[in-house]
Amino acid sequence: MATRAEDLIRRHRYTVEEFLRMGEAGILRADERVELIEGEIAEMAPIGSRHAGTVKQIGAILMRTVGEGAIVSVQDPIILGPRSAPQPDLALLRPRADFYKAAHPQAKDVLLVIEVADTTQRYDRQVKLPLYARHGVPEVWLVDLEQNAMEVFREPSADGYRHAERLADLTSVSVAGLPGVVVDLRELFRS
């Protein structure tokens, strides 16, 4: 039986600490769109205008809605174990006096992650959603720009999210980690 060359290559899997040091040292440029997933540096897709505008719109809605009840994080890393630092489009974090200046947030700090998907749909579903679930991120919203719909994932487990709900007609969505907080998304898919 023939052995493939890629099966013989020993890969070095980076730690979050190594990855962050590469950024600090300038090995990874600030404008380079990469994230660390299971020890591998993954290139992120370029951001189109519809994607960028949707992230800004959701960010503004979240800031108005949650006030000081959570910190709205936009395209910043979240540390998930020793070998992953994904950069979700948006996240709601537990309030902290230092706004996470001392250290990046970890799964225990996250109330909600939001991924906006256009060209990244498969990557978000097959790579990032399972990663978030394995690390206990309690809730993920996947905003599907191709279908003008949103999916809500809750109840993380080692095998993925136990609860998934597709919302084609957006009105408002509650945030499980913020009792009483309802996010009005009626304007999200309107031109």
In single-letter form, the type of residue at position 60 comes to: A
Name all domains of the chain by residue range, CATH numbers in brackets.
Answer: 47-184 (3.90.1570.10)
Assess whether pLDDT exceeds 90 at residue 152: yes
C-alpha–C-alpha distance, residues 107 and 16, integer Å: 14
In the block, tokens 């800031």 appear at 63
Assess whether pLDDT exceeds 80 at residue 5: no
C-alpha–C-alpha distance, residues 21 and 158, integer Å: 29
Task: Give the model's pLDDT for residue 7.
Answer: 73
**Model confidence over 103-150: pLDDT tens digits?**
999 999 999 999 999 888 999 999 999 999 999 999 999 999 998 899
> What is the DSSP track for 71-114?
EEEES---B-STT-B---SEEEE---TTTTSSS--BGGGEEEEE
Q: How far is CA 29 from CA 7, 58, 104, 147, 157, in A?
A: 30, 27, 18, 34, 34
- Could you tell me if 130 and 160 are in contact, meaning their C-beta atoms sit under 8 angstroms apart? yes
C-alpha–C-alpha distance, residues 28 and 23, integer Å: 5
Bridge-based pairing state of the strands 172-174 and 149-157? unpaired
